[in-house]
């Protein structure tokens, strides 16, 4: 690490989104007067009769969950996307002919939203599930992508988990969601643009080196560097590495990256699926151990669109975006300068990686 990385305010470039962030390591030593107390652990029951995700229970729309014993996927009862044929007009917004057309743009969107229960157990999180059950979650993700990706009216499948009250998730029952849409959403579209620019040697931002030869996909080249440097790597296994990206914005943001070029999650071999399950268990356990709480986050898979094109530029990966900063109760807010100018962090990516690297892979309780 250079002196710049350790003591001086500096900008770091996110080559995956073509954006900059501000790092202010000198501020990490400023006094902190807020509370650093631990939050009492809420003990959930293994089954909650009022939970709409527990086996056998009724959901808000009256549908009843089967007595499922593994992973259970159902259509979201309050979907943000509707199937094309269910929509009143699929052409809404295409009719602009006035001079406002370029500024007031809309186009119909359609798709599928599903809820994915990770386990029948109401009280367990990914970190606490046995590896075989996490593997079942990975298998369910893949089965969903195979099914939805084959459809003409689906371009992108966004798999995600939003965990913890602080993240606006009201139900502790372990579950994720998928939203599959006709169009490529904003974040993967940014990543696609940057990955394509890298692979084809085009300039996106002022720091991109168009003279780099023998390019692999952006995140393949990036992981090579990280595995050589080591400062931001938390752990690896046979097929994946978990690290704090150089350009991380959230204090304990991480990525899980595959060792070989894999464009979509459906390409994972059985061994790689086990490895991904292992990586998920290990990072979520470390997270829980960081402040000795069930650690909140938004996580999800980014992958190539299912649009029939090869997308050699894409490398599938997972992001974890956790909001916590100093303790179970102190969260980072993306406000002020960050809303108006650019994201900023005090703790460097290297410091965060060091903290996470030092934690046990056996859950605290
Ligand atoms: P959270 O992850 O924010 O808790 O939401 C879970 C999803 O479950 C949410 O998208 C859906 C909500 O629409 N849901 C149902 O599909 N059926 C229900 O009975 C309640 C919640
Ligand atoms: Zn439940």
Question: Where do the DSSP E strands lie in the chain?
Answer: 10-14, 19-23, 72-75, 111-117, 156-163, 175-181, 233-236, 240-243, 254-258, 297-302, 317-321, 344-345
**Which of 343, 303, 299 has the alpha carbon at shortest distance from 217?**
303
- Phi then psi for residue 80, to 5 deg, are -80, -20
d(CA 226, CA 280): 19
Whether residue 101 is predicted with pLDDT greater than 50 in this model: the reply is yes
**Which of 209-223, 289-303, 330-344 is predicted least confidently?**
209-223
Q: What value does the mean pLDDT of the chain take?
A: 92
Residues with C-beta atoms within 5 A of ion ligand 2: 48, 51, 53-54, 122, 173
Q: How confident is the model at residue 84 (pLDDT cuts 50, 70, 90)?
A: confident
Task: Establish whether residue 170 lines the binding site of ligand 1, counting it when its CB lies within 6 angstroms of any ligand atom.
Answer: yes
Strand order in the sheet with 233-236: 72-75, 111-117, 175-181, 156-163, 297-302, 317-321, 254-258, 240-243, 233-236
Atom of ligand 1 nearest to the CA of 61: 19
Q: Ligand 1 within 6 A of 76 CB?
A: yes
Lowest model confidence (mean pLDDT) among 28-32, 199-203, 219-223, 332-336: 28-32
d(CA 60, CA 220) in angstroms, rounded, equals 44
Count of CB atoms situated within 10 Å of the CB of 202:
11
Note every long-range contact of 186-193, with CB atoms under 8 Å and residues 24 or more positions apart, other chains counting.
187/17, 187/302, 188/156, 188/158, 188/302, 188/303, 188/305, 190/16, 190/17, 190/18, 191/16, 191/17, 191/302, 192/304, 192/305, 192/311, 192/313, 192/314, 193/18
Q: Greater confidence, 169 or 55? A: 55
Strand blocks (E) in 156-305: 156-163, 175-181, 233-236, 240-243, 254-258, 297-302
Q: Which of 257, 74, 264 lies closest to 154 in space, CA to CA?
A: 264
Query: Which listed residue (175, 239, 311, 317) is catalytic?
Result: 175
* Residue 175: active-site member: yes
For the residues 100-129, what does the mean pLDDT come to?
A: 95
Which candidate, 119, 33, 50, 36, places its Cα nearest to that of 293? 36
Domains of the chain: 13-23+46-357 (3.30.428.10)
What is the Cα–Cα distance from 24 to 351, expressed in whole angstroms? 12
Q: What is the pLDDT of residue 238?
A: 98
| Ligand 1 near 169 CB (within 6 A) | yes
Q: In what order do the strands lie in the sheet with 19-23?
A: 10-14, 19-23, 344-345
The bound ligand whose nearest atom lies closest to the alpha carbon of 77 is 1
- 229 three-state secondary structure: helix
With a 6 A CB cut-off, is 57 part of the ligand 1 pocket? Answer: no
Pocket flag, ligand 1, residue 162 (CB < 6 Å): yes
Question: pLDDT at residue 33 above 70?
Answer: no
Other CB atoms within 10 Å distance of the CB of residue 167:
15
* Residues 200-218 pLDDT 10s: 988 666 555 566 667 899 9
223 class by beta-carbon count within 10 Å (0-12 exposed, 13-18 middle, 19+ buried): buried
| Stretch (H or E) spanning 194 | helix 186-200
Which one of 60, 117, 118, 125 would you pick to mutate in the ligand 1 pocket, going by the greatest count of ligand atoms within 8 A of its CB? 60
Residue nearest atom 1 of ligand 1, based on CA coordinates: 169
Centroid of ligand 2 to alpha carbon of 51 (angstroms): 5
List Cα–Cα distances, 13 to 250, 325, 364, in angstroms. Answer: 15, 22, 35
In this prediction, residue 90 carries a pLDDT of: 47
Dihedral (CA of 326, 330, 336, 341) sign = positive
- Give the residue-averaged pLDDT of 18-27: 94
Q: 260 CA distance to ligand 1 centroid (A)? A: 35
Q: Is the CB of residue 333 below 6 angstroms from any atom belonging to ligand 1?
A: no
For ligand 1, atom 6: residue with the closest CA: 115
Percent of the chain exceeding pLDDT 70 equals 90
Ligand 1, closest atom to CA 76? 16
Mutate to test the pocket of ligand 1, among 77, 114, 117 (most ligand atoms within 8 A of CB): 77
pLDDT (average), residues 302-310: 98
């Amino acid at each position: 690490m250079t002196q710049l990385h350790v003591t001086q305010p500096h900008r770091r470039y996110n080559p995956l989104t073509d954006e900059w962030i501000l790092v202010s390591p000198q501020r990490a030593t400023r006094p902190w007067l807020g509370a650093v107390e631990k939050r009492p652990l809420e003990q959930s029951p293994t089954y909650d009769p009022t939970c709409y995700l527990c086996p056998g229970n009724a959901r808000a729309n009256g549908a009843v969950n089967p007595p499922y014993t593994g992973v259970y996927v159902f259509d979201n009862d309050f979907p943000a996307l509707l199937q094309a044929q269910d929509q009143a007009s699929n052409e809404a917004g295409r009719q602009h002919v006035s001079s406002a057309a370029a500024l007031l743009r809309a186009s119909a969107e359609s798709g599928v939203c599903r809820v994915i229960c990770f386990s029948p157990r109401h009280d367990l999180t990914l970190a606490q599930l046995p590896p075989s059950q996490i593997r079942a979650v990975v298998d369910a993700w893949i089965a969903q992508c195979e099914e939805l990706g084959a459809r003409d009216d689906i371009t992108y499948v966004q798999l995600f988990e939003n965990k913890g009250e602080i993240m606006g998730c009201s139900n502790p029952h372990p579950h994720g969601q998928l939203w599959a849409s006709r169009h490529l959403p904003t974040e993967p579209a940014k990543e696609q643009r940057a990955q394509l620019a890298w692979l084809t040697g085009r300039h996106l931002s002022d720091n991109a080196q168009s003279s780099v030869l023998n390019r692999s996909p952006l995140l393949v080249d990036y992981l090579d560097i990280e595995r050589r440097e080591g400062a931001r790597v938390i752990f690896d296994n046979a097929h994946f590495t978990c690290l704090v990206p150089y350009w991380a914005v959230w204090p304990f943001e991480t990525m899980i990256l595959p060792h070989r070029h894999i464009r979509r999650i459906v390409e994972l071999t059985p061994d790689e699926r086990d490895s991904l399950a292992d990586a998920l268990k290990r990072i979520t356990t470390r997270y829980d151990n960081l402040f000795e709480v069930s650690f909140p986050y938004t996580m999800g898979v980014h992958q190539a669109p299912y649009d029939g094109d090869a997308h050699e530029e894409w490398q599938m990966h997972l992001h974890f975006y956790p909001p916590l900063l100093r303790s179970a109760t102190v969260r980072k807010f993306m406000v002020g300068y960050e809303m108006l100018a650019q994201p900023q962090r005090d703790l460097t990516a290297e410091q965060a990686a060091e903290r996470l690297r030092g934690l046990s892979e056996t859950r605290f309780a």
